[in-house]
Amino acid sequence: MQVPSLSISRRTRKTPFSRRVQEAGVKAYTVYNHMLLPTVFESVEEDYKHLKSKVQIWDVSCERQVELWGPDAGRLAQMLTPRDLSDMALNRCYYTPMVDETGGMLNDPVTTKLAEDKYWVSVADSDLLFWIKGLAHAFRLEVDVDEPDVSPFAIQGPQAEDLVARVFGERIRSIRFFHYDYVEFEGQRMVLARSGYSKQGGFELYVDGSKWGEPVWDAFMEAGADMDVRAGCPNLIERIEGQLLSYGNDMTRNNTPHECGLGKFCQTQQAIGCVGRDALLRVAVEGPVRQIRSVAIDGDPVPPCNELWPIIGGGRQVGTISSAAYSPDFRTNVAIGMVRMTHWDDGTKVQVDTPHGMRSATVWETPFCNQGGPE
């Protein structure tokens, strides 16, 4: 299949960084939250090598914020997620599975607590705003729910901390994983968190006001010129190696957080008020019957995974692959799939029905990036 073009309209929104992204030679996009998300600069493989050795700046504006603001903001936030938010501190961001009344995943955002009455929910690709607004309205909560003009900008890679320290000072080195602090950019206060959609380490700056997009981009490019800083983007290979899930790809409304391996982010018993609590209490205790796994698929590089590929074990279907790519470092195809408990143990041999034919494969509980191995 020939690679198709993307038709861009106002509906596929540009970002505060779009001009810089184009100048940097972006080759492909996806659409995420009705917004452009770059997917390739040099090539997925070149981008990957650079991300794992240097530092990149990413336009992840498409990770839109849903702001909850008002006396009922905290109550509403807890309604959304089985993660216990009761002790959340004012310098924290949490990875938060969000579920409906059946326990089905609606999104897997990063939630930042800015004040007792103010939260930002940094959403993956679904209009979670609509669900939140529906609940807030029908439950008559005293809270304002809206999308502010805030655009995340990620600095990722092994040299990310050094680059961010050049721009915002040494103090940022003491920000811990999934904590945040405030920084000033040309007098504008912004949230800087140690987080990001890679396992290479780094930060996310919540750029507060579109007008700061290009100045922020330019400041990082200048500060990192001698570090070979480049425009990058979430990298398909790297995120699969790290088992970072993608909503809509690796999970949908049909999955519970526990199936997604996100049970560690749920304290369902404690999450009083969560609308999915009743539905999840049982699965929280008994565990799911299928779960997310890393899968190594043997043989030549597989084509892009744009629909579920069956996983076969003992002659019948025991799961589905939802993301796959060839990993230069692991010298195999790395993949993410949902596997039934009969075949989810570490090292289980299975087969995957790819568009390039049936392939032998191995199921792994640990993400590739924590396996050591050929890297």
Classified as helix, coil or strand, 200 is coil
Classified as helix, coil or strand, 310 is strand
* Contact of 40 with 26, CB cutoff 8 Å: yes
Which does residue 137 touch among ligand THG, a second copy, none (CB within 5 to 8 A, set by kind)?
Answer: a second copy
Classified as helix, coil or strand, 97 is coil
Which regions of 25-82 does DSSP assign to beta strands (E)? Answer: 28-32, 35-40, 56-59, 65-69
Give the residues across from 117 on adjacent strands: none
Ramachandran quadrant class, 201 (left: phi over 0; alpha: psi -120 to 50; beta: rest): left
For the beta carbon of residue 227, count every other beta carbon within 10 angstroms.
15
Residues 6+ apart with CB under 8 A from 310: 317, 319, 320, 321, 352, 353
Task: Examine residue 128 and tell whether it contacts a second copy (CB under 8 A).
Answer: yes
Which does residue 217 touch among a second copy, ligand THG, none (CB within 5 to 8 A, set by kind)?
Answer: none
Is 204 assigned to a binding site?
yes
Site track for a second copy across 64-103, x = CB under 8 A: ------------------------------------xx--
Site track for a second copy across 262-301, x = CB under 8 A: -------------x--------------------------
Task: Examine residue 28 and tell whether it contacts a second copy (CB under 8 A).
Answer: yes
Distances from the Cα of 118 to the Cα of 75, 79, 139, 141, 234, angstroms? 11, 15, 18, 14, 28
- Residue found by looking up tokens 């309604």 in the block: 79
CB nearer a second copy, residue 6 or residue 115: 6
DSSP secondary structure string, 289-324? SEEEEEEEE-SSPPPP--S-EEEEETTEEEEEEEEE
Residue 55, Cα to own-chain centre: how many angstroms?
A: 18
Residue 357, both tokens:
């034919």
Residue 64, both tokens:
């839109």
CB nearer a second copy, residue 140 or residue 316: 140
CB of 335 to ligand THG, least distance (A): 17
CB of 353 to ligand THG, least distance (A): 27
CB of 195 to ligand THG, least distance (A): 6
Site for a second copy in 96-115 (CB under 8 A): 100-101, 106
Which does residue 323 touch among ligand THG, a second copy, none (CB within 5 to 8 A, set by kind)?
Answer: a second copy
List interacting residues with ligand THG (CB under 6 A): 63, 95, 108-110, 122-124, 152, 178, 195-197, 204, 244-245
Which does residue 333 touch among a second copy, ligand THG, none (CB within 5 to 8 A, set by kind)?
Answer: none
CB of 244 to ligand THG, least distance (A): 5
Task: Examine residue 349 and tell whether it contacts a second copy (CB under 8 A).
Answer: no
Task: Please work out the total of residues on this chain that contact a second copy, with binding judged by CB under 8 A.
Answer: 51
Ramachandran quadrant class, 29 (left: phi over 0; alpha: psi -120 to 50; beta: rest): beta
CB nearer ligand THG, residue 197 or residue 364: 197
CB of 343 to a second copy, least distance (A): 21
Stretch that binds a second copy, among 132-140, 150-158, 192-200, 310-318 (CB under 8 A): 132-140
- Residue found by looking up tokens 């961010």 in the block: 164
Largest CA distance in the chain: 63
Positions at the binding site for substrate: 204
Positions at the binding site: 204
Interface residues toward a second copy, by CB under 8 A: 1, 3-12, 14, 22, 26-31, 34, 39-40, 100-101, 106, 125-135, 137-139, 246-249, 275, 304-308, 322-323
